């Protein structure tokens, strides 16, 4: 027998060894890169979001590391506009930790320095990087510093900053989430940059309103349950964001999505296969460029206003779905891969975003070179380079052969991990594997497809200037081009203008897309009804910016309390009503304004139109103010009878390289409610 004292000691030892171990909560660090820019200087948006974070009850396991800079003026007395500063937010306290010399937040080295500091000084079980400011999608810049003439980060610079801090590891990425509280960043190319550095990406396809993410709600949710993973936190970010937009009445166009970056390679592979299928179609008939262009014009796209701003971002799901009948082999695979990668998304009532957008040169390729430098070179990007004459045949062939080789290698790897033939994706030849399909065509290098592949020569549609129109007895204006002249056209719209010979002036009422189009015949028809949009019976200028089956979106230029803005307007076909979502300042220096002002009674509005002199030898078009009036609680926008007068009507034709031509002009005489339409040469 053991002595009693030894038995007691043994019992105590067993109690210590066998006692249940209390699990420690996971720790989270949020690395928050806040480039205040003009959004802080004008509206205090950054101050507002930081204040939201300070309201959250973070607890012991959530730390926020904050870098501030990038604005000429902070709307608070804490942050400096002459230095970069770093702070730590723990619980509900803001602690200054570093003051740094002034430098551009749009400089990759400045971002890399912040990331190094976070990595070395503030490790946690889970890390989240949030970049706060303007965003420009795939082709334009992110985080535009107000103190350095709007200098911003390109995608190439963002990648370099991440690579300078961490080694990409798709299996064990250093970040749980990379998030962009910025416009237009939920793109295929941004996701490719983030792949290997984060498990998930959270970003918006469309322009974010100035209220941005709702930090109090998302941080409180994280602090209450630090055991959650990035997917759960991403969903919370989306849901709290949409709720905040609803509270601010900015939700109509809101989008935000969570991308599982582990699934991105499958999206890219399917996208490249679809691109090779499209290249086969173009090699067979170069008119397929226009098929893709028309689909891009009619797919949900973001922040594209002719003459003002082009992000060139188009929703991937809408685009691929619209081309499914023309590209039947791989469209379904892209849609399936996209649905798998986008694990959560929220949309406002006028958005149907799939979760990821892609670059399409709606501006005729003005920013295409940016894509070659910083974007992901896919089969579609090569095809677009051929379309806008930015890539020669030899370069295109070399790029496509490299893409096909990568697809072949990826398929070889997947074959080793596939347990049964039924799990392999189908190929165009129906053999159950991608190898030997389109890849083989491009790998041979001397195939018929590659030998016929060449860039489109610069298009000249000047021959379509003054294209004749016919006028019917019922007031229909018809443009008959024929299918051959439509080969490279991507859209046909119309302009309406007020015409006064005595005053020697033309006033453009606007551009609309309400045209009955028969692309197979090359015929386009519109019926003049002597009505136009007005606010409280004051006619306004319209510029159609978005064409959907159930609504059109317009930019309406006005002055609001003396300041030039664009009203963001929806016309809903079901209700046959206009909705004014708000007012936003025009884009400046390649940066779109996020702040959406909600109109109020007693706001003073001045209608703005583009006018020109009839007799002028050169283009002397200019914006002119017409009517000034004050809104009331009963103010509304609606179509009204335009009354007596002389109007002119013309079709606008646009090709896939961004060129335009105007048809012959129809003169419309309205007197005592009777309408007489004739061609100007009559």
User: What's this model's pTM, rounded to 2 decimal places?
Assistant: 0.91
Retrieve residue 401's tokens: 């052969």
pLDDT of 587:
86
Please give the torsion angle defined by the CA atoms of residues 531, 536, 537 and 540, in that order, rounded to the nearest 10 degrees. -60
Helix or strand (DSSP H, E) at 393: helix 393-417
Sequence-ordered list of residues with C-beta below 8 angstroms from that of 78, at least 6 positions apart, any chain:
94
Of 174-188, 371-385, 578-592, 665-679, least confident by mean pLDDT is 665-679
Answer yes or no: is pLDDT of 595 > 80: yes
Of 19-33, 107-121, 435-449, least confident by mean pLDDT is 435-449
| Distance of alpha carbon 168 from alpha carbon 453, whole angstroms | 36
Answer yes or no: is pLDDT of 662 > 50: yes
Q: How confident is the model at residue 449 (pLDDT cuts 50, 70, 90)?
A: low
pLDDT digits (tens, 9 = 90+) for 486-503: 999 999 999 888 888 888
Cα–Cα–Cα angle for 512, 514, 515, rounded to 5 degrees: 115
pLDDT of 448:
59
Could you give the domains of the chain? 28-200 (3.40.50.11970), 266-337+351-452 (no CATH), 462-679 (no CATH)
Q: Distance between alpha carbon 660 and the CA centroid of its chain, in Å?
A: 24
- Report the sign of the C-alpha dihedral through residues 534, 540, 544, 545, in that order: negative
pLDDT digits (tens, 9 = 90+) for 602-652: 999 999 999 999 888 778 889 999 999 999 999 999 999 888 888 888 899
Closest CA to 404 of 456, 372, 449, 441: 441
| Distance of alpha carbon 131 from alpha carbon 232, whole angstroms | 20
For the chain, the average pLDDT equals 89
Of 181-185, 282-286, 488-492, least confident by mean pLDDT is 282-286
- Compute the average pLDDT of residues 178-182: 98
Q: Distance between alpha carbon 445 and the CA centroid of its chain, in Å?
A: 35
pLDDT of 307:
78
**452: helix, strand or coil:** helix
Q: How many residues does the chain have?
A: 682
pLDDT of 165:
98
pLDDT of 207:
96
Strands 505-512 and 516-518: unpaired
| Cα dist from 106 to 71, 135, 189, 441, 533, whole Å | 12, 11, 18, 43, 42
Retrieve residue 427's tokens: 């190929």
pLDDT of 258:
98
Helix or strand (DSSP H, E) at 385: helix 379-387
- Compute the average pLDDT of residues 453-481: 88
| Cα dist from 487 to 294, 468, 482, whole Å | 11, 18, 9
10 Å Cβ neighbour count for 610? Answer: 18
What DSSP designation does 484 have?
G
Closest CA to 137 of 195, 180, 177, 168: 180
Contacts 24+ apart (CB under 8 A), 240-248: 240/213, 240/214, 241/212, 241/213, 241/214, 241/346, 242/346, 242/348, 243/214, 243/217, 244/211, 244/213, 244/214, 244/217, 245/209, 245/211, 245/348, 248/209, 248/211
Q: Phi and psi for 108 in degrees, rounded to 5?
A: -60, -35
Helix, strand counts (H, E) of the chain: 17, 33
Helix H segments across 195-287? Answer: 215-224, 230-248, 264-284
Answer yes or no: is pLDDT of 227 > 80: yes
């Amino acid at each position: 027998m053991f002595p009693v004292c030894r038995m007691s000691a043994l019992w105590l030892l067993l109690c210590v060894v066998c006692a249940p171990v209390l699990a420690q909560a996971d720790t989270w660090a949020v690395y928050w890169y806040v480039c205040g820019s003009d959004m802080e200087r004008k509206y205090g948006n950054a101050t507002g979001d930081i204040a939201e974070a300070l309201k959250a009850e973070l607890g012991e396991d959530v730390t926020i590391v904050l870098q501030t800079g990038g604005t000429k003026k902070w709307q608070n007395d804490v942050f400096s506009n002459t230095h970069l500063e770093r702070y730590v937010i723990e619980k509900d306290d803001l602690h200054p930790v570093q003051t740094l010399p002034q430098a551009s937040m749009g400089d990759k080295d400045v971002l890399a320095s912040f990331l190094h500091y976070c990595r070395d000084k503030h490790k946690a079980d889970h890390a989240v990087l949030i970049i706060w400011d303007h965003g420009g999608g795939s082709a334009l810049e992110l985080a535009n510093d107000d103190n350095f003439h709007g200098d911003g980060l390109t995608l190439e610079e963002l990648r370099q900053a991440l690579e300078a801090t961490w080694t990409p590891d798709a299996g064990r990425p250093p970040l749980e989430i990379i998030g962009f509280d910025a416009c237009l960043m939920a793109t295929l190319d941004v996701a490719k940059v983030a792949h290997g550095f984060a498990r998930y990406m959270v970003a918006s396809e469309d322009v974010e309103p100035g209220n941005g993410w709702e930090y109090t709600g998302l941080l409180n949710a994280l602090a209450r349950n630090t055991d959650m993973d990035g997917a759960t936190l991403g969903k919370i970010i989306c849901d709290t964001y949409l709720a905040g937009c609803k509270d601010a009445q900015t939700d109509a166009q809101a989008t935000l999505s969570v991308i599982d970056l582990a699934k991105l390679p499958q999206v890219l592979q399917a996208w490249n296969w679809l691109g090779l299928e499209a290249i086969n179609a173009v090699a067979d008939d170069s008119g397929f460029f226009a098929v893709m262009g028309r689909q891009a014009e009619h797919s949900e796209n973001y922040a594209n206003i002719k003459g003002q701003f082009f992000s060139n971002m188009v929703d991937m799901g809408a685009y691929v779905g619209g081309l499914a009948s023309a590209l039947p082999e791989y469209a379904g695979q892209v849609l399936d891969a996209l649905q798998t990668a986008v694990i959560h998304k929220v949309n406002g009532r006028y958005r149907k975003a799939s979760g990821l957008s892609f670059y399409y040169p709606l501006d005729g390729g003005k920013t295409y070179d940016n894509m070659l430098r910083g974007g992901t070179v896919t089969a579609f990007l090569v095809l677009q380079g051929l379309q806008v004459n930015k890539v020669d045949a030899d370069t295109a062939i070399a790029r496509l052969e490299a893409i096909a080789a990568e697809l072949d290698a990826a398929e070889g790897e997947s074959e080793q991990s596939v347990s049964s033939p039924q799990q392999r994706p189908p190929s165009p030849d129906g053999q159950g594997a991608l190898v030997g399909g389109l890849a083989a065509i491009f790998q041979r290098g001397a195939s018929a497809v590659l030998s016929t592949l060449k860039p489109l020569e610069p298009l000249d549609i000047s021959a379509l200037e003054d294209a004749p129109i016919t006028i019917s007895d019922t007031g229909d204006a018809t443009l008959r081009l024929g299918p051959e002249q439509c080969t490279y056209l991507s859209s046909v719209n119309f302009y309406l203008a007020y015409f006064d010979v005595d005053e020697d002036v033309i006033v453009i009422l606007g551009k609309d897309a309400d045209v009955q189009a028969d692309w197979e015949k090359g015929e386009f028809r519109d019926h003049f009804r002597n009505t136009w949009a007005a606010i409280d019976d004051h006619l306004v200028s319209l510029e159609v910016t978005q064409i959907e089956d159930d609504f059109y979106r317009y930019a309406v230029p006005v002055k609001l309390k003396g300041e030039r803005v664009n009203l963001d307007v929806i016309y809903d076909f079901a209700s046959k009503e206009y909705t004014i979502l708000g007012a936003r300042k025009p884009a400046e220096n390649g940066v779109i304004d996020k702040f959406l002002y909600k109109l109020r009674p007693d706001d003073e509005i001045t209608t703005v139109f583009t006018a020109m002199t009839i007799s002028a030898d050169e283009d002397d078009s200019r914006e002119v103010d017409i009517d000034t009036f004050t809104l009331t609680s009963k103010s509304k926008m609606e179509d009204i009878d335009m009354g007596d007068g002389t109007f002119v009507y013309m079709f606008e034709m646009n090709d896939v390289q961004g060129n335009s031509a105007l048809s012959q002009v129809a003169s419309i005489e309205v007197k005592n409610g009777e309408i007489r339409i004739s061609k100007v040469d009559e």
